[in-house]
Amino acid sequence: IAWSLLLFIAQLVSVIYLPFDGIELVLKIFLSSFSVLIVLNELEWWPALRGSPLFKNFVTRGYFYVFLGLVSTEENNIKPSKVSVVGNLPVDYTAALFIETASWAMVAVGIIYFLSGLCCAQYYINKVREDHSNRLAERKRIFELGMKSEAALSNQMVT
């Protein structure tokens, strides 16, 4: 979630500090919107994303994250016009470094998801979630039975 938020912030920073044309602005808007979708997906707040085949599987999710990171890296690629004069960079180098770092971090997260999917980590996570749901259901059942028995006891004490 954090790296996706940083990628979103990096796109905002690139709009403020970096020179761009119309197509690059459209790419920045797409990257920003995909970053928001990634946050919503990771928090599992939007049911439409939970059922999405792209985000459901770790392998395809990782592939998508790597793609976004590489597009962001390439789209915000700033090269100095003269290699010998570092002071002639057309932008604030700190902003460019932040954007590059956030983009490469997103690539790293994508690679981790991809490799985790290949190593069947998603199967393990699904089992843990299922076990957690079963435990919650069991606690709820025990709590409801306890409330019923307390009500029965208090009725017996009144009469």
81, pLDDT greater than 60: no
Query: Residue 87: pLDDT band by 50, 70, 90 thresholds?
Result: low
The pLDDT of residue 125 is: 86
Please check the confidence at residue 159 and state whether its pLDDT lies above 60.
no
Average pLDDT over residues 30-48: 86
- pLDDT of amino acid 106: 93
Highest mean pLDDT among 36-40, 131-135, 154-158: 131-135
Higher per-residue pLDDT: 79 or 23:
23
Q: Is the pTM of this model over 0.85?
A: no
Instruction: Write down the pLDDT at residue 111.
Output: 96
DSSP notation for the chain: -HHHHHHHHHHHHHHHHS---HHHHHHHHHHHHHHHHHHHHHHT--HHHHT-HHHHSHHHHHHHHHHHHHHHHHHT----S-SS-GGG-SS-HHHHHHHHHHHHHHHHHHHHHHHHHHTTHHHHHHHHHHHHHHHHHHHHHHHHHHHHHHHHHHHHHH-
